[in-house]
Amino acid sequence: MLASAPSLENVAEWMSEKGIRTVRTMITDLHGQPLGKYLSVAKFLSGLPKAHAFSDLALAGDLGGTPHLTFWHSFRTPMLGDIAAKMDLSTCVVDPVDPETAHVIGQFVQMDGSPIDLCPRTQLSRLCETLAGHGIGVRSSMELEFFLFDQPYDAIRAEGYSTLSPCTLTSLQSIYTLRDAYRAHPFMQRVTRQIEALGIEWEAWSDENGNGQIELNLAPLAPLAMADAVMRARQVIFEVAQSMGLAASFMPQIKPGHANGMHIHHSLHDFNREQDTGVFEPLLFDASEPHQLSALAMRWIAGLHHHLPASVSLLCPSINSFRRLRDFSAAPTRQGWGLDHKSAPLRVLSPSPGTTRIEHRVGSSDLNPYLAMSVIIASGLCGLDADLELPPPMQHTGWGQAPGASDLPSDMVLASQALAKDQTLQQYLGKENAGYWLKTRRHEWLSFQEQASQSLNGAPTLWEFERGFAKL
């Protein structure tokens, strides 16, 4: 709970004392898109402690706004009725720019308040509870990569995304360049101040390798809080860009050689001890074991490794995501793990008890953070519950002709096939949820094939830009 967040008992008083006139709700759909409503305080309070109504299409539509009417999940009815959004008051915070507006995050539920497991936030909550049943807690952090452009969204769209002007000093690609970073400093100064006001701690930002590319690193949190922070940070980045006449995009690939990923770091600790005593006891490090990794760590990594091909479907959710997964593009394309190995999909850092962590490097910038953490935890749980063989760490580059390594799925069809075959991972994610997700991927693939021709030399199509440039 944020330090100043209200409770159910005092929320009306809290709203009054702070002079709140409007409440903006935020709920994340399957695609990682933020949805919500602006409510009057009276309307918001009237929906507590239950929820506010939404059409079920909020959970059953594609990125283009087309409803999925040919396949179903148990939360849906033939009447295409309403579902609801239940607010988590622990996430309530005052808007840093408009002090008369409060923001609150929620999740989709049935109209009677019962949970909908397909809701991404609910899925992640369930898996965290399952892991806690093993006595294990997770801390995670995410690296947000995006492109910043000197033009507003309207102008970019009007020009068919053909004349993008990156916010950079030169056309040369570079990284950690202070002069390019300085060009983006006024923008990032506003971004970091606003996310701080929302209770989100950040660690660093810098220019990245692509022209106009920026990376923002968030401080570690519990998985649900981290996913909430990512959704809020993305929205702040969009809003600041909009207000400054700029455009920011989390689209994975804007043009060949310019791609956004989202690396996810996580560590494990003793959940019960933290709950009982407040002491944080890491579980991944063991100086007496090979690679200084505990037996639990090796089982967890084995689960991540074994289920990596199937995980790609959720970590790289769009057609455009897979344009990033190309050999020698700095994105991992081969299955494996490595010790402080930046070309491996699973990079394990084990310098000390308090800093040992796993960096999952497969995810693209447009991933749904709730589903991404869900599939990571589900894969790790598979490793804890089964005796899986973990190969030796990679000693070679994780792309190109990596000896003995299997290819990761390189397109949406192959990724879907890998998930469809992985019955164990589906069981942890929820069979019905996994089945519904696979149907949405088939729908997306068919939509791409029907409405957009394959581009030459790997360049994104107009169909991809319309779907991904501003919406995510």
- For 327, phi then psi, to 5°, come to -55, 140
Burial pattern 52-89, b for ≥16 Cβ within 10 A else e, equals bebebbbbbbbbeeeebeeeebebbeeeeebbbbbbbb
Q: What is the model's pLDDT at position 51?
A: 85
pLDDT at 291: 92
**Mean pLDDT to the nearest integer, 427-438:** 96
Task: Assess whether pLDDT exceeds 80 at residue 355.
Answer: yes
Q: Which residues, other chains included, contact 189 with Cβ-Cβ below 8 Å and sequence gap of 6+?
A: none
CA dist., res. 336 & res. 334, Å (int): 6
How many angstroms separate the Cα of 119 from the Cα of each of 59, 305, 310? 7, 26, 20
Position 353 scores a pLDDT of 82
The predicted-structure confidence for 219-260, as pLDDT tens digits, reads as follows: 999 999 999 999 999 999 999 999 999 999 999 999 887 899
DSSP states of 123-187: HHHHHHHHHHHTTEEEEEEEEEEEEEESS-HHHHHHTTT-S--BSSSSSS--SS-HHHHHHHHHH
pLDDT at 454 over 60: no
* pLDDT attached to residue 175: 78
Query: Does 173 or 143 have the greater pLDDT score?
Result: 143
Q: Which domains does the chain have, with CATH numbers?
A: 11-116 (3.10.20.70), 127-468 (3.30.590.10)
In this model, does residue 218 exceed pLDDT 90?
A: yes
pLDDT tens column, 299-317: 999 999 999 999 999 999 9
Helix, strand, coil percentages (3-state) for the chain, rounded to 5, are 35, 20, 40
Residue type, 281: E
Comparing 409 with 61, the larger pLDDT belongs to: 409
**pLDDT on residue 379:** 98
How far, in Å, CA of 173 to CA of 210, rounded? Answer: 6
Q: β-pairing, 247-249 with 202-207?
A: unpaired
pLDDT at 402: 64
Token pair in block for residue 371: 């589903």
| CA-to-CA separations, 467 to 173, 250, 444, 454, 470, in angstroms, rounded | 26, 11, 11, 15, 8
Q: How confident is the model at residue 422 (pLDDT cuts 50, 70, 90)?
A: very high
Give per-residue pLDDT as tens, 83-114. 999 999 999 999 999 999 999 999 999 999 99
Neighbouring residues of 31: CB distance < 8 A, sequence distance ≥ 6: 62, 63, 317, 368, 472
> In sequence order, which residues have a C-beta less than 8 Å from that of residue 414 and are 6 or more positions away?
none
Identify any residues that bridge with 142 across adjacent strands, giving them in sequence order.
264
Query: Which helix (H) or strand (E) segment is 236 a member of?
Result: helix 223-243
C-alpha–C-alpha distance, residues 97 and 463, integer Å: 34
What is the residue-averaged pLDDT of the chain? Answer: 92
pTM equals 0.95
The alpha carbon dihedral of 184, 217, 409, 420 has a sign of negative
pLDDT > 80? residue 445: yes
Strands 136-149 and 34-35: unpaired
The Cα 417–Cα 4 span in angstroms is 46
Residue 451 has pLDDT above 80, yes or no: no
Dump pLDDT digits (tens) for 26-37. Answer: 999 999 999 999
Residue 326 three-state SS: coil
Note the pLDDT of residue 450.
Answer: 80
CB atoms within 10 A of CB 462: 14
Cα–Cα distance measured from residue 16 to residue 64, given in angstroms and rounded to the nearest whole number? 39
Average pLDDT on 411-430 reads 97
**Closest alpha carbon to 464 in 235, 259, 166:** 259
Task: Tell me the percentage of the chain whose pLDDT exceeds 70.
Answer: 97
Alpha-carbon span 156 to 429, nearest angstrom: 38
Q: Is the model's pLDDT at 3 over the cut of 80?
A: no
Per residue in 170-193, pLDDT (tens digit) is 777 777 788 888 899 999 999 999
Give the C-alpha separation, 285 to 294, whole Å: 5
